[in-house]
Chain A
Amino acid sequence: MFDELTRTAGPGTPLAAQARGLDMRLMLRAGEEDTLLIIRDGSVTEARRGPHVTPSWDTRLSAAPGDWEAFLAAVPRPGYHDIYALLRNGRMAWEGNLLPMMQHLMYIKRLLASLRPEVA
């Protein structure tokens, strides 16, 4: 579900330029499936699919696969259009050290939104 992030936010992309200096391990959990994003200087250099042995991450965002799919729709419906909306509705959990995410919140939001199909 999240593999494409190495392309949409890989080195040299406009997205990567929005988070210069950010080094972060962001875990994205869809149901029981974990994907660990390695972010270096704002670029997603790896998207490591689990299962992971003794995983280490800064921040983890967890939601059910169906809720991720609703979030990643080209035009998400109300309640699913943003990670704060999902948090508010109890459909997403934010865990770990939130500081790097909060320091780069717009980048993280754009990073995830980069997986949405473009609206024609």
Chain B
Amino acid sequence: MALDIEPILGRYAHIAIEGVRHRIYWEEAGEGIPLVCLHTAGSDGRQYRAVLNDPNITRHFRVMVFDMPRHGKSSPAPGTVDDDYSLTAAHYVAQIMAFCEAFELDRPVAMGCSIGGRIVLHLARHHPQAFRALIGLQSSAHVDPYYDTGWLDRADVHGGRMCGAFAHSLMAPTSPSEHVDETRWHYMQGGPGIFRGDLHFYRGAEGDIRDELAKIDVAACPLHLLTGEYDFSCRPEDSRALAEALGIEVTIMPDMGHFPMSENPEVFLGYLRPVLETVRAAQAA
């Protein structure tokens, strides 16, 4: 029987982020328009395995997924392992811009989920000229705290088990168990404190972009929104409110939770491919 090898290639690059050298792991597949994918808080790039493996997409897009520092196979910057990690909007934007600039990507598409769905709004606000399109999955302008994130990182609770269980909560009960398990396993493997630290950006004031939505010009850089109906973190009504404020459409995905690309990849690809076709059509026009 022939060995089934995926077309994904993973390597390390040394990239300076805000002047600090980082060893960043990224995976990529395909050729064409760069499509940079941004994983959720506390997880890593494996969430986009189905996008990287989809020949319908990689035929036209160079799909690139990097693990944020501290996540997946991208270690913390030297000397920062024990720092009290809290992600800021400015640092998150800097990571993405540094990655795109290091690879000299020509106006890539950026697609992010959850915190990634939030940061694409910041990219739309501050760097619309750098991207040909942005895709927000589970994207909202803000989230009010509704639970104590301290439970995600404390000495008397196993962080991996806790984060995995919480990620499980955010998925749809109809998603395939194989992919639900894969998705929560990524969370179970996360470094201590990274989920909680990422949520510093996601919840509350740090990443709240409501006051700047009016300054986002979706004509300068098209923005596409896709949201799963089972997500209670970024609820459909949150994405609808965002879409209304920006004057754009949002697609609500039935039977889908907070991690569409990872918890139910095949169904998600059915939603993503037409969006990417729209991007290609705009390129050709």
Contact = CB atoms under 8 A, between A and B. Distances in A.
Contacts of B12: none
B232 A85 contact: yes
Contacts of B229: 78
B169 A99 contact: no
Interface residues of A, number: 19
Contacts of A79: 232
Interface residues of B, number: 21
A76 interface: yes
A14 B97 CA distance: 48
Contacts of B170: 82, 84
Contact of B157 (A75, A84, A88, A103): A103
Contacts of A88: 146-147, 232-233
Interface in B161-190: 161-162, 164-166, 168-170, 172-174
A81 B172 contact: yes
Contacts of A103: 156-158, 161
A75 B175 CA distance: 11
B147 A81 contact: no
B230 interface: yes
Nearest to A105: B165
Contacts of B172: 78, 81
Interface string A64-90: 000000000001101101111101110
A45 B161 CA distance: 24
Contacts of A102: 151, 157, 162
Given A102-B157, A105-B166, A106-B164, A87 B173 contact: no
Contacts of B168: 82, 106, 109
22 contacts: A75-B173, A76-B173, A78-B230, A78-B232, A81-B230, A82-B168, A82-B169, A82-B170, A84-B147, A84-B169, A85-B169, A88-B147, A98-B151, A99-B157, A102-B151, A102-B162, A103-B157, A105-B161, A105-B165, A105-B166, A109-B168, A109-B169
Given A78-B229, A102-B157, 6 more contacts: A75-B174, A78-B172, A81-B173, A88-B147, A89-B232, A106-B164
